[in-house]
């Protein structure tokens, strides 16, 4: 099992068979779902038929709501993540290279890391309101930690002999960072992004569910409040699609940047 | 601490070293607290950022008046049950998938699909099904912790040294017992790593659920304190739940150290 | 000739207070320009430390290390190191690894490329220029490491058990390649190894170090007739004599350690 693997079927019998083998359980569940829902075995409110959910999804896409809310969520998460990435890598790398910076940030990192960042949502609502900026800042603060920690640890773990090799071939201490340390630490730094990305989405969703202001989280909770369960499921499907897309994107980027691993 | 500071500390006589070491480690935090104190009231209104003293006082008040206990208890209950259930289910599922192809084929696609969904996105759905309250919170915690534990169990069970299995078989262990006596113990270290990862996730899931879908618990307290404008109490609650999360992780690491004495 | 290494009363101490250890004690040794010298010694005697001190990666505690009369000041392009674990830059291709030193030296692109190609050919890796280290075997990686160090033409080659991680046939083949290259380029070589046969086969002089804390114990001159084939050299009486001498000296150092 590899939850991160890509199933890329070429169309011949044996791969068709293996494809069936890998998704048959899903198909069974989906068929059961539709059947149970259509037969009214479970109340519509809890489990609308798949067909209705898909129709609602299409409806929301057509009237623009789906795209608009998806855009809001993505924008908030990605901008926050971008900010956190810049600062996180900076602080992380500096911490690894400079004792003073490390001494200062290490306990902050140790204490900040296990704080469930989600619990600070009310604080951010207080400080920055319930708009986009507030959400972006919160995402930035929340995703800073995994980025910084991974950047710091992977910089520290750069093999000393690589640094020595560069020095013996004439690289000055100043140029070492750019020439050797960064490329060598890149895998670890990217791992930090991989951890930070789902976190950015979580923070955004919860903030939207609590505070409103549009976005897929708000869309989903609105479905609950107005007893439109198809909307709830449709929003979840959208979230799933976005999650898959971003995950793929990140892995592709990692594959290209780190083609040498 | 940095190399330079540790060198200086090593120059001190032995008994002072430990004290000096502890002090130096905490100085940056002390600086943060001092800055906090300075900013509060002077740069920023105390309403927005209550002074550390006020917050500390509130924390004490919370415990002394017992206001916090019922909520803290509920939150802990939810975390423990949710995490506990996910551990049991996760280990069974992970090891089952690793050692049995049919099991793996069945569940693989579901795991692959839920992997990219942040489980907190399912909170509204949980409200739909279970309403607002403890069962929703437990469900979310359970779902959020499941994947890391399944993955770690799966990897561990898949990598058990074949030689260990053969040794046991040669000494008479059969079928089912191999699973119990060899595979499970061999996978414990990695499973514990998975649980270690799941603990902070559990608290994030808990607070998320309590902010959105609950009338009790620490998350609920934080939210309502904010809504009625009692900001010192809001901050106090945040400190309390953060401290609990921190302690939970440390506690778990201690347990893991003791248990894994044989690694 | 250039590339003379002079080590005088070298001492290297690690740690402070209760954890103070002396790795190298009062070591004095000279390697002439163009000479091939090996250093052998029991584990922990400090031979790698010695190499890193000569390379300038570590600072001496007391004593001096000079190259052609000038005391060294940190790492420099006059001394090149080949590590046992290759230390190749994994994000660079074979070709890019070899040109690294030339890039640092500001050599213009076309010249860089022809020099690098020359050394890649010298270590028999033509055709592998675009490969990444992860795609190479151990022996190939070591050859890249060698080419990389040779490319910017340091006067002195410092080799830290470079063939230790490789199997016997590969080791022998690389030893012969190294001798050929040394014959062509006439560099000074300081070669660390724990393999007595390898030391005797390759070198003109072998320094045996005492066990920890390491200092110079004995130095053997090796005057082998290397005109014949490998088999002829290795099976000759002279070879056996030299090997025995070195081995005995080394064995005295390890003898007192192992008391099972």
A24/A129 same-domain check: no
Residue A122, domain member (yes or no): yes
Count of structural domains, chain B:
2
Alpha-carbon gap: B176 to the closest alpha carbon of chain C (Å): 41
Cross-chain residue pair C17–B7, CB shorter than 8 Å:
no
Question: Is residue B148 assigned to a domain?
Answer: yes
CA C77 to CA C62: how far, in whole Å?
A: 23
Which residues on chain A are in Cβ contact (under 8 Å) with C89? 162, 165, 180, 183-184
Which chain C residues touch A if contact means CB-CB below 8 Å? 52, 55-57, 74-77, 79-81, 83, 85, 87, 89-92, 100-101, 104-105, 132-134, 148-149, 152, 154
Lowest mean pLDDT among B83-87, B252-256, C47-51: B252-256
pLDDT at B113: 82
Can you tell me the distance from the alpha carbon of C174 to that of C125, in angstroms, rounded to the nearest whole number? 13
Q: Which two tokens stand for residue B137?
A: 């919170």
Same domain, A240 and A147: yes
Is C163 within 8 Å of C175 (Cβ atoms)? yes
Q: What is the number of structural domains in chain A?
A: 2
B262 has pLDDT over 70: no
pLDDT at B183 over 50: yes
So what's the pLDDT on residue B2?
46
Q: Is the model's pLDDT at A89 over the cut of 90?
A: yes
The reply to whether A22 and A79 lie within a common domain is no
Give me the pLDDT at residue B22, please: 67
Q: Check the CA dihedral B84-B87-B93-B99 and report its sign.
A: negative
With bands split at pLDDT 50, 70 and 90, how would you rate the model's confidence at A261? confident
3-state SS string for A199-261? HHHHHHHHHHHHHCCCCHHHHHHHHHHCCCHHHHHHHHHHHHHHHHHHHHHHHHHHHHHCCCC
Whether the predicted pLDDT of B105 surpasses 90: no
Residue A63: alpha-carbon gap to chain centroid: 27
Shortest CA gap C17–chain B (Å): 8
- CA torsion, ordered C31, C32, C35, C37, to nearest 10 deg: -10
Report which DSSP code applies to C46: S
Are A162 and A233 within one domain? yes
pLDDT score, position B61:
84
- Which is nearest to B85 in space by CA: B139, B130, B156, B152? B139
Q: How far is Cα A222 from Cα A212, in angstroms, rounded to an integer?
A: 9
Question: Cis before residue C232, ω within 30 degrees of 0?
Answer: no
Q: How many CA atoms lie within 13 A of C79 on its CB side?
A: 27
Residue ranges in chain C modelled with pLDDT below 70: 1, 256-260
Residue A252 belongs to some domain of the structure: yes
Q: Are strands C21-31 and C5-14 parallel, antiparallel or unpaired?
A: antiparallel
**Does residue A22 sit within a domain?**
yes
A167 touches chain C (CB under 8 A): yes
- Is A51 a domain residue? no
For residue B57, what pLDDT is reported?
86
Question: Span A143-152, mean pLDDT?
Answer: 92
CATH number for the domain spanning B193: value is 1.10.3720.10
Of A161, A171, A260, the CB nearest to C91: A260
Residues B29, A22: C-beta atoms closer than 8 Å: no
**Per-residue pLDDT tens over the stretch A197-212:** 999 999 999 999 999 8
**Average pLDDT estimate for A180-186:** 93
Question: Would the pLDDT of B201 be above 50?
Answer: yes
- With 0-12 CB in 10 A as exposed, 13-18 as middle and 19+ as buried, what is B228? exposed
Question: Do A76 and A150 belong together in one domain?
Answer: yes
Question: Would residue A47 count as lying in a domain?
Answer: no
Is residue B114 within 8 Å of residue B140, measured between CB atoms?
A: no
**Residues of chain C contacting B10 with CB distance shorter than 8 Å:** 16-17
Task: Provide the residue range defining the domain that includes A26.
Answer: 1-42
* Residue B132 placed within a domain: yes
Q: How far apart are CA C128 and CA B6, in angstroms?
A: 47
B7 neighbourhood in chain C, CB within 8 Å: 16
Angle between helices A65-97 and A229-257 (to 10 degrees): 40
Domain assignment of residue B57, yes or no: no
Q: Smallest CA–CA separation between B244 and chain A, in Å?
A: 9
Please tell me whether residues B175 and B151 are part of one structural domain.
yes
Structure-model confidence comparison of residues C148 and B160, the more confident one: C148
Confirm whether B235 is domain-assigned: yes
Residues of C in contact with A260 (CB under 8 A): 90-92, 132-134
Contact C118, C192 (CB under 8 A): no
CB-CB under 8 Å, C16 with B7: yes
Which tokens is B8 given?
């200086």
* B241-254 average pLDDT score: 88
Kindly report each contact of residues B36-42 with a partner whose C-beta sits within 8 Å and lies 24 or more positions away, as own/partner.
none
Residue B11 has pLDDT above 70, yes or no: no
Q: Which two tokens stand for residue C164?
A: 């230790």
Assess contact for C47 and C103: CB atoms under 8 A.
Answer: no
The rounded distance, in Å, linking the Cα atoms of B190 and C85 is: 29
Average per-residue pLDDT in chain B?
84
The two structure tokens encoding residue B151: 């993955």
Of C155, C153, C75, C159, residue with least CA distance to C112: C153
Most A CBs within 10 A among C75, C105, C115, C147, hence the mutation to make, goes to C75
Cβ separation A198–B116 shorter than 8 A:
yes
User: What ipTM does this complex have?
Assistant: 0.88
Chain A hits for B200, Cβ within 8 Å: 113-114, 116
Judged by CB atoms closer than 8 Å, whether chains meet at C77 and A167 is answered as no
Query: Vertex B164, ends B163 and B166: CA angle to 5°?
Result: 65
Q: Return the pLDDT at B6.
A: 55
Residues of chain A positioned with their CB less than 8 A from the CB of C84 = none
Give the residue numbers spanning the domain of B33.
3-49
Q: Are residues A35 and A75 in the same domain?
A: no
Q: Look at phi and psi of residue C258 and say left if phi exceeds 0, alpha if psi is from -120 to 50, else beta.
A: beta
Q: Does the distance separating the beta carbons of B246 and A1 come in below 8 Å?
A: no
A156: domain CATH number? 1.10.3720.10
Torsion of CA B134, B140, B143, B146, to 10 degrees: -80
CB contact under 8 A, A170 and C132: no
B145 and B191 fall within a common domain: yes
- Whether residues A4 and A85 share a domain: the answer is no
Question: Do B73 and B198 sit in the same domain of this protein?
Answer: yes
Among C56, C65, C82, C60, CA closest to C30: C65
Position B5 pLDDT exceeds 80:
no
C17 neighbourhood in chain B, CB within 8 Å: 10-11
Of A33, A32, A177, A29, which is closest to residue A96 (Cα–Cα)? A177
Alpha helices (H) in chain B, listed in sequence order: 3-10, 14-42, 52-65, 69-99, 101-114, 123-130, 134-158, 162-170, 175-178, 184-212, 218-227, 231-259
As a whole number of angstroms, the distance between CA A101 and CA A51 comes to 57
- Specify whether A201 is located in the same domain as A91: yes
Q: How many Cβ pairs closer than 8 A exist between chain A and B?
A: 169
**What residues of chain C lie within 8 A of the CB of A161, using their CB?**
83, 85, 87
- Both A234 and A168 in a single domain? yes
Q: How far is A193 from chain C (nearest CA, A)?
A: 20
* Average pLDDT of the residues in A104-128: 82
The C-alpha R_g of chain A, in whole angstroms, comes to 23
Rounded-to-integer distance, Cα A37 and Cα A58, Å: 19
Whether A170 sits inside 8 A of C85 (CB atoms) is: no
For residues B33 and B161, membership in a common domain is answered with no
**CB pair distance less than 8 Å for A184 and C89:** yes
- Rounded to a whole number of angstroms, the distance from the CA of A100 to the nearest CA of chain C is 21
B122 has pLDDT over 50: yes
**Mutation target vs C (from B7, B10, B11; most C CBs, 10 A cutoff):** B10
Q: pLDDT tens, C146-189?
A: 999 999 999 999 999 999 888 899 999 999 999 999 988 889 99
- Put simply, the answer to whether B109 touches A240 (Cβ < 8 Å) is no
B113 within domain boundaries: yes
* Chains in contact with B via at least 3 Cβ–Cβ pairs below 8 Å: A, C
Residues 38-67 of A with CB under 8 A from B: 45-46
Residues in CB range of B101: below 8 A, 6 or more apart? none
Rounded Cα–Cα distance for residues B125 and B97 (Å): 27
Helical (H) or strand (E) element with C178: helix C168-185
Question: H/E element holding C160?
Answer: strand C156-160
Residue B54 placed within a domain: no
Q: Which chains touch C (3+ CB pairs under 8 A)?
A: A, B
Residue B175: the pLDDT is: 73
Q: Is residue A98 part of a domain?
A: yes
Indicate whether B232 belongs to any domain: yes
- Are residues A119 and A9 part of one domain? no
Q: Is residue A49 part of a domain?
A: no
pLDDT confidence of residue A217: 93
The verdict on A79 and A18 lying in the same domain is no
Whether B98 and B200 map to the same domain: the answer is: yes
C149 CB contacts (<8 Å, ≥6 apart)? A168, C80, C81, C82, C101, C157
Nearest residue in chain A measured CA to CA from C53: A164
- Identify from B43, B117, B209 which residue to disrupt to test chain A contact, counting A C-beta atoms within 10 A and taking the largest count: B117
Tell me how far CA of residue A145 lies from CA of A76, A193, B29, B235, in angstroms.
18, 10, 16, 21
pLDDT tens digits for range B25-76: 667 777 778 888 888 877 777 777 888 888 888 888 888 888 788 889 999 9
How far off is chain A from C158, nearest CA to CA, in Å?
11
For residue C38, list its beta bridge partners.
C191, C206
Domains within chain C, CATH numbers bracketed: 1-78+158-260 (3.40.50.300), 85-153 (no CATH)
Residues A13 and A118 in one domain: no
CA distance B174 to B181: 10
Count of CB atoms situated within 10 Å of the CB of C179: 17
* pLDDT value of position A8: 52
User: Are the C-beta atoms of C190 and C167 separated by less than 8 Å?
Assistant: no
């Amino acid at each position: 099992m590899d939850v991160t693997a890509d199933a890329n079927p070429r169309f011949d019998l044996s791969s068709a068979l293996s494809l069936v083998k890998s998704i048959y359980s899903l198909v069974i569940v989906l068929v059961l779902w539709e059947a149970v829902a259509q037969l009214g075995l479970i109340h519509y409110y809890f489990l609308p038929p798949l067909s209705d959910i898909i129709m609602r999804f299409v409806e929301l896409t057509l009237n623009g709501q789906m795209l608009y809310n998806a855009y809001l969520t993505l924008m908030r998460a990605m901008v926050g993540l971008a900010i956190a990435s810049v600062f996180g890598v900076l602080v992380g790398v500096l911490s690894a290279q400079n004792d003073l910076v490390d001494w200062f940030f290490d306990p902050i990192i140790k204490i900040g890391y296990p704080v469930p960042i989600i619990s600070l949502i009310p604080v951010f609502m207080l400080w920055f309101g319930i708009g986009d900026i507030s959400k972006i800042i919160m995402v930035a603060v929340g995703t800073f930690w995994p980025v910084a920690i991974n950047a710091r640890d992977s910089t520290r773990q750069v093999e000393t002999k690589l640094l020595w090799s560069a020095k013996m071939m004439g690289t000055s201490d100043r140029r070492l960072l750019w020439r050797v340390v960064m490329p060598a630490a890149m895998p670890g730094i990217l791992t930090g992004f991989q951890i930070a990305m789902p976190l950015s989405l979580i923070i955004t969703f919860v903030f939207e569910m609590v505070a409103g202001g549009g976005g897929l989280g708000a869309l989903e909770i609105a479905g609950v409040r107005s007893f439109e369960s198809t909307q709830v499921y449709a929003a979840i499907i959208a979230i799933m699609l976005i999650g898959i897309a971003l995950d793929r994107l990140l892995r592709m980027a990692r594959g290209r940047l780190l083609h040498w691993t | 601490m940095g190399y330079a500071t540790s060198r200086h500390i090593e120059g001190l006589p032995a008994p002072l070293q430990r004290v000096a070491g502890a002090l130096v480690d905490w100085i940056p935090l002390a600086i943060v607290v001092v800055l906090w104190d300075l900013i509060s009231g002077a740069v920023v209104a105390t309403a927005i950022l209550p002074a550390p003293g006020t917050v500390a006082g509130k924390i004490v008040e919370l415990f002394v008046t017992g206001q916090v206990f019922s909520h803290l208890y509920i939150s802990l209950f939810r975390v423990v049950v949710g995490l506990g259930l996910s551990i049991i289910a996760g280990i069974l599922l992970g090891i089952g998938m690793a050692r049995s192809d049919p099991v793996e084929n069945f569940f693989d696609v579901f795991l692959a699909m839920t992997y990219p969904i942040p489980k907190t996105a399912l909170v509204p759905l949980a409200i739909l099904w279970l309403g607002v309250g403890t069962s929703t919170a437990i469900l979310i915690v359970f779902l959020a912790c499941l994947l890391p534990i399944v993955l770690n169990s799966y990897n561990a069970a898949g990598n058990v040294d074949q030689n260990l299995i053969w040794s046991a078989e040669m000494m008479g262990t059969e079928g089912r017992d191999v699973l119990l006596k060899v595979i499970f113990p061999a996978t414990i270290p990695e499973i514990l790593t998975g649980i270690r990862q799941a603990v902070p996730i559990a608290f994030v899931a808990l607070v998320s659920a309590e902010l959105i879908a609950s009338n009790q618990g620490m998350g609920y307290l934080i939210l309502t304190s904010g809504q009625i404008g009692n900001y010192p109490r809001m901050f106090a609650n945040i400190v309390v739940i953060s401290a609990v999360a921190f302690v939970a992780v440390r506690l778990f690491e201690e347990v893991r150290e003791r248990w894994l004495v044989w690694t | 000739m250039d590339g003379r290494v002079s080590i005088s009363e070298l001492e290297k101490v690690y740690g402070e207070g209760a954890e103070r250890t002396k790795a190298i004690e009062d070591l004095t040794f000279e390697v002439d320009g163009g000479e091939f010298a090996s250093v052998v010694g029991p584990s922990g005697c400090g031979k790698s430390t010695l190499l890193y001190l000569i390379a300038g990666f570590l600072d001496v505690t007391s004593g001096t290390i000079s190259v052609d009369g000038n005391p060294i000041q940190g790492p420099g392009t006059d001394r090149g190191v080949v590590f046992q674990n290759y230390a190749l830059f994994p994000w660079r291709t074979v070709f890019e690894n070899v040109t690294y030193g030339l890039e640092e030296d500001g050599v213009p692109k076309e010249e860089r490329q022809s020099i690098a190609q020359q050394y890649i050919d010298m270590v028999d890796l033509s055709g592998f220029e675009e490969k990444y280290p992860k795609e190479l075997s151990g022996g190939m990686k070591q050859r890249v490491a060698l080419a990389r160090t040779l490319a910017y033409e340091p006067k002195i080659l410092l080799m830290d058990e470079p063939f230790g991680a490789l199997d016997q046939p590969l080791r022998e083949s690389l030893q012969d390649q190294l001798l050929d290259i040394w014959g062509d380029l006439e560099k000074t070589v300081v070669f660390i190894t724990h393999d007595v046969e390898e030391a005797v086969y390759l070198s003109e002089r072998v320094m045996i170090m005492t066990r920890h804390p390491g200092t110079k114990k004995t130095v053997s001159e090796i005057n082998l007739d290397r005109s014949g084939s490998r088999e002829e050299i290795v099976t000759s009486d002279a070879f056996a004599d030299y090997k025995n001498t070195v081995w005995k000296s080394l064995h005295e150092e390890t003898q007192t350690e192992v008391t099972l």
